[in-house]
Amino acid sequence: MFTGIVTDIGRILLADARGDMRFRIATRYDTAGLALGASVACSGVCLTVVDRGQTDTQGWFEVDVSAETQAASTANTWEVGTRLNLERALRVGDELGGHIVSGHVDGVAQVTGVAQEGDSTRVTFAAPADLARFIAPKGSVALDGTSLTVNAVAGTQFGINFIPHTKANTTWDAVAEGDRVNLEVDTMARYVARLREAEG
């Protein structure tokens, strides 16, 4: 489990097709404390550490990404140089600063608009129709692994305001119209919708 609070920005150093895709990701994490088999959310995708190491200048870890995961997320576009929002899995006693995030991407949303609003950046997204019903004003979503609050919803479109801190500490500093991003809807919203369906 994760919280959607990004703690590092990784960069892909190596992309190797070997049945599944294997990616080597540069990180500031202390890789000596990153166990094989540990989970890391990479731009919202929960992946398992299969190797790790340290050079003179940086740490790195490797993950395998299956064809199914690539098809359900933006991982099919990752390449050398791609930046990724990273978050290590929750441990007992950790602060829950965002919301509960599973790292199981529900689908891909697309950026349809970017505009400055004071110091913040207002970004509008189009969600897949089957996921839009789980997105509500003032509710939570995880986009590329970042826990965010929804400001407004209109049909399949929804808007998010990114404050300077979020942009400075994630990959959202480079957001542009047309970008595709990993979307995980709030688990609570999904349960509420399921209960309403059962009652109906």
* Domain ranges across the chain: 8-88, 107-199
- The answer to whether the 8-88 and 107-199 domains have the same CATH topology is yes
Can you tell me the distance from the alpha carbon of 132 to that of 127, in angstroms, rounded to the nearest whole number? 6
Neighbour-count burial of 107, counting CB atoms closer than 10 A to its CB (0-12 exposed, 13-18 middle, 19+ buried): middle
Per-residue pLDDT 10s for the chain (200 aa) are 899 999 999 999 999 998 899 999 999 999 999 999 999 999 999 999 999 999 888 999 999 999 999 999 999 999 999 999 999 997 766 666 667 888 999 999 999 999 999 999 999 999 999 999 999 999 999 999 999 999 999 999 999 999 999 999 999 999 999 999 999 998 776 656 666 666 66
Nearest to 127 by CA among 145, 141, 117, 115: 141
Q: What's the pLDDT score for residue 22? A: 97
Q: Can you give the pTM of this predicted structure?
A: 0.92
What is the reported pLDDT for 55? 85
List alpha helices for the chain, DSSP H. Answer: 67-72, 129-132, 164-168, 187-199
Determine the topology of domain 107-199 in CATH: Elongation Factor Tu (Ef-tu); domain 3 (2.40.30)
CATH topology of domain 8-88: Elongation Factor Tu (Ef-tu); domain 3 (2.40.30)
d(CA 42, CA 83): 9
SS3 90: coil
